[in-house]
Amino acid sequence: MKTNEIKRHRQYEDFEKVIRGLELFTGAMGLDLGLERAGIHTLLASEIDEATRKTIAANRPGIELIGDLRDYSPQDIRESAKLDPKSEIDLIVGGPPCQAFSTAGKRQAFEDERGNVFLKFIELILDLRPRYAAIENVRGLLSAPLAHRPHSNRGLTFPPLSSTEQQGGALYFILNMLRAGGYEVSFNLCTILPISARHKSASG
């Protein structure tokens, strides 16, 4: 084997050994910095805020940057990340919009367009099938119902809350989606709510 062929072969082997991740709802790349320090190579980022996109372009000019996830299919994302249909994705990470679940908002969950983007994120995870996924959101997701009833419409003079109006319904729905897709799920509570999912086929 010629020297150049050996070099290319080694580069291919090194690429195969790299832990490869996709970061969706990237923001200013705070999560990405943590991934880099952990030895994870981010192939693709997504963000719609123009000022934040400029920050990403300035700090990581080599990264593939896409826009609104609702405009991309799983195949589009693979192509943007320069991954063929059979390439394994090690990790998908992201912090989808939190306003629909925050206690500071109207808490309309998936009835809010921003909440529906969260579902798009989960659907992409299930379609792209990474070995692991990590999701960050507000702690209000713990108590957000599937359907929010205003407090002014609660009490002794109103019907009891339905099952969809019970606390935690939104999180329960998300966890069930991931579990149905073959993922084992855990989450931790801190100032934010990180959710991690490991596919049952993942080893190590």
Catalytic, out of 22, 69, 98, 133? 98
For 154, the token pair is 């609660």
- Return d(Cα 116, Cα 70) in angstroms, integer: 10
- Return d(Cα 68, Cα 48) in angstroms, integer: 6
**Residue 169 in contact with residue 155, Cβ under 8 Å?**
no
- Return d(Cα 195, Cα 203) in angstroms, integer: 19
98 is catalytic: yes
Q: What are phi and psi for residue 90, nearest 5 degrees?
A: -75, -40
- Give the residues across from 195 on adjacent strands: 135, 187
Question: What region, left, alpha or beta, does residue 129 occupy, with left being phi > 0 and alpha being psi -120 to 50 degrees?
Answer: left
DSSP, res 90: -
For 42, the token pair is 């981010």
- Residues carrying an active site annotation: 98
